[in-house]
Chain A
């Protein structure tokens, strides 16, 4: 038959993870930036800027998990086993912040600060864990006889801790530039000041990971630095440099949507680089999407539902962002 089901599912999952990073990244970033804003009203505004679109994490994360189980059961079982503890930390962090998000509005004045702390803690743990998961995944997962063959703490390496921090920086930049777009007055001014050093930090992180990964993994180095691959992929680093330069510029003029869009571009380019390094493996360094794919009867059966529902979710999301355009201030609040 002519349909390449494993490829379609790989694209769905890659798209789902990207949608997750793009849409949940900035609202996790809001949680990371919460400690830098003490004023209660300004914190309310920060929350209100994500309340109408705060849904990325559950939808795309659950879809990503279920999609991985459908498409690549072997990858689902091996990756989640290898990264057991960081995944548990991430899930608990997300639960904590998700519920804190809702109950913060419903709590009385004297209890609210507890939910604030839960929101900050949950966001930080979730963002950091995701970065650790990313780093450990790039580092590769040993597999013997279709089972994870490493130890309980194999994920804990200098590289994964670095990517954990790196992802927090990326999310903080997304959150900060989102607030520049959606707010005004002193909060926006503070965010402009804050995102300048954060954008430098992210640039440094991208360079560090780009150097570290090929040095540590010869396969990744071969992918990037052999001809003709080098020519095909050279636009990626060039675009990163260009985007960063534009981002710096936009932060110094009177910024509106520019910094947020450019930050999204940076994150997207980083994600592209990651996909180039790993493809066509679903469990680095050696299990490809063909090796790990589930039975075609299963992939085809589930694809029908996915193709019906995913466009609906995208439509809903796009409609939501459209309705929610414009600035949020203290008067146009949550209520």
Chain B
């Protein structure tokens, strides 16, 4: 797509130069005669509303959460029962929370393992000039577009003990394979992974296809000339060059898996998610916070969830993403 080419070729000064300019020359030398306060005014007008909205509705609530987390509070009137770190102690000692945390960890890891290699292989396969290629791309992206509520409702009905999946298995003669997909605590987490994989694999394939298309064809031609086999080419050229895309996808996948709520809440409801082995930190937060009217406690869980995501994201950024996007988050992108 043309946007990609635009980034690569047009800007005479590279992104790092822009970054340098930010550090060395706060005043744009070109704009002789333009007053400093006028630029400030423009910046304030243009960026101001966005900053105000963002701070009010995104950052401020999290600060509020940290504040409310120090209270026991039923939600009526202002909080008065200060308990310090008690809520946090309760959270970490609660075996239900530990289970939810464990489930989240399993979901994160399995999402990466189940979707990653499969999506890479599928992308490699679909990257060829086949007929109907764009139709295929559209159709595999459909699950991503449909909301998690609909996915949960539909799959919840299909995976019932007497639902469509078991019905289909019986029809093709595999009635021995019919199980309690949702009820059996040993199986429920796998059913959840099945649904998650179904929903997000198309997204991964599309991302990887995009990444594949930015690999210059000359490299493959050179490899062909050197007599490399298909698998050697994939292993030595394609996959490494796909690396940045894979790492970004893994980051998005990990953050999304930590925040999983809609699917679990719709399918298993608030009461049995923990028993079925599919509760997540987010469902734990809603069940023990809002639904039980323990708003102080619920806010404390939110803060814990935030800190866990933050630590993981920063660690990942530092050790994994750093070589791809040097200073991307601090210097305004490449």
Note whether A and B form a binding pair: no
Contact surface of B with A, Cβ cutoff 8 Å: none
